[in-house]
Structure 1
Amino acid sequence: MRALIQLALSGLLGLTASSVAAQTLQQTRHVVLAINNVDRYGPHLADAANRSLYMFTADQQATGNMPAVSRCNDACAEVWPPVITTQPVRTETGMDDKLIGTVQRPDGSTQLTFGGWPVYYYLRDQKVGYVGGQGVNEFGGLWYLLSPSGEPMKSIPKQ
């Protein structure tokens, strides 16, 4: 009965399980970057909790005088929550701090960039260490893991 009431309240408030989970991921404010090393994919960018991080080919990568632009908003950002930070980002040893940056999102929040690419979680990565978003074609572009050098890992096949 309690679960039914909670579900009904969520429906009344316009919340879905995915939007609640996306909001939880978006509430990450202090980010520590790490390198995850899954056998099939090799070393790729993750957070300190070992959650894989992705880039979106429809985004604009920051290069030279061109700023990064995130094009994943609304429904896209529910499935691919942006990595939001309000504090300086820390890294594990062996990572180049010069690859870290930020981009202002339309809602005013600050999203992490790495290698010039806006960075996202994947809501369907249900467990720590999952890499289910690799090669997904969704919301007008492809999603890839980022290498420790900030490059999209395009040659790695979809899981």
Structure 2
Amino acid sequence: MKKSIFLVFTLVGILYSCSSDDDAQPTPPVTAVNTVQLATDATFGSILTDANGMSLYFFSRDTKGVSECADGCKAAWPIFYTADLTLDEGLLASDFGVITRADGEKQNTYKGWPLYYFANDNAAGDTNGDKVGNNWYIAKPDYSLMYAEAQLIGKDAEGNPINFKSDYTEGDELTFYIVNGNTGRTLYTFQNDTKDTNNFTAADFSNDAVWPVFHIDIDKLPSILDASDFGTIDVFGRQQLTFKGWPLYYFGQDVERGDNFGINFPAPGVWPIANVDTPGAPE
């Protein structure tokens, strides 16, 4: 009997000892998942996703840093917003912002472009929304240029706004054009230039403030643009980017993001915007 009692206590002691050892095992650390991640896509390279790996997008019509996607559009392209923004390595907090939309909801932005999901992306890694309508593009961290779509607005002699169509006649119409990917600033060509030749800029750059030459090293482009259409020329010791042989410029009076006042200065169509329908520059 004494032996039986002793064995029972011994067994309980062993079980208690094992249980205590198990409880003392360290808990594996929980890896924090950032609310905006950098994913690698086989087609697009580095892209922005949410914490669950769902792809994010830019809308070409958001040229002024506010959302132009509402009502039925928002159902197809749900907005992305998180108050607790944490970022993967390689992303800068200074590139992100928050806007309050016309409907009162908040939305995150990246380099001034509001961020969206696509309703037809069903799983992490889907990129079905890219190039839909030629105005939705996968959100990448490193676009050199972006493809915008907006109303062209010039000014009359008194400085009042005038709407222009893509043929530079007065009227209402959305027009596609190329902008700087980082700043959203409109790019122009000059009708008197020839292939790979800047016929505007003075040798001393005394008129550069009016139409500054534009240059950026082309890296990543939205899928509608072809890298082979771009080149670089030398303009009195400075580099200038070309598109289909046309040298590219800013307009000095475009101050705010999304401005395109140069389209009728000094007359409509003298300084056209550039898009995929732009014919090649003449020899």
TM-score (norm 2): 0.39
- One-letter amino acid of the counterpart of residue 109, structure 1: E
Amino acid aligned to 2:92 = D
Per-residue CA deviation, residues 118-141 of structure 1 (Å, 9 max, x unaligned), is 00000000111100001110xxx6
1:76 matched to which residue of 2?
73
Work out the percentage of aligned pairs sharing the same amino acid: 31
Deviations 1:50-70 (A, max 9, x none): 100000001124xxxxxx210
The answer for the alignment partner of 1:156 in structure 2 is 223
Counterpart for residue 101 of structure 1: 97
State the shift of 1:32 in Å: 0.7
Shift of 1:154: 4.4
Q: Residue type matched to 1:44 in 2?
A: I
Q: CA RMSD in A?
A: 1.9
8 Å Cα contact 2:143-2:221 kept in structure 1:
no
Q: Which has the larger radius of gyration?
A: 2
Letter of the structure 1 residue corresponding to residue 53 of structure 2: N
The one of the two structures with greater contact order (alpha-carbon pairs below 8 A, sep at least 6) is: 1
User: 2:35·2:84 contact (CA, 8 Å) conserved in 1?
Assistant: no
What is the rounded CA distance, in whole Å, between the counterparts of 1:155 and 1:115 in structure 2?
15
Q: Counterparts of 1:156 and 1:143 in 2: how far apart (Å)?
A: 10
Please give the residue correspondences for 1:104-119 in structure 2 after superposition, counting only pairs within 5 Å. Answer: 104-119=100-115
Residue 34 to residue 97, structure 1, CA distance change in 2 (3 Å): same
SS at match of 1:78: helix
> Is the Cα–Cα contact under 8 Å of residues 96 and 149 in structure 1 kept in the other structure?
no
TM superposition shift of 1:149: 3.3
In the aligned structure 2, how far is the partner of 1:78 from the partner of 1:150? Answer: 26
Residues 1:60 and 2:56 aligned together: no
What is the CA–CA distance in structure 2 between the aligned matches of 1:103 and 1:150, rounded to whole Å?
21
Paired residues of 2:143 and 2:222 also in contact (CA < 8 A): no
Contact persistence 1:144–1:154 (CA under 8 A): no
Would you say how many aligned residue pairs link Structure 1 and Structure 2? 117
State the alpha-carbon separation in 1 of the partners of residues 221 and 78 from structure 2.
20
Q: Give distance in 2, aligned partners of 1:110 and 1:32.
A: 16
Which residue does 1:47 correspond to in 2?
A: 50
CA distance in 2, matches of 1:145, 1:155: 8
Question: Which stretch shows the higher mean deviation, 103-112 or 50-59?
Answer: 103-112
Residue 156 of structure 1 and its aligned partner are, at CA, apart by: 2.7
Question: Relative to total residues, which structure has the larger helix share, 1 or 2?
Answer: 1
List 4+ stretches of structure 1 deviating above 6 A. none
Note if contact 2:109-2:115 (Cα within 8 Å) is conserved in structure 1.
Answer: yes
Q: Distance between the aligned counterparts of 2:53 and 2:45, measured in 1?
A: 14
How far apart, CA to CA, are the structure 2 residues paired with 1:111 and 1:54?
A: 12
Matches of 2:102 and 2:76 in 1, distance apart? 17
Unaligned 5+ segments in structure 1 are 1-30, 62-67
TM-score (normalised: structure 1) = 0.67
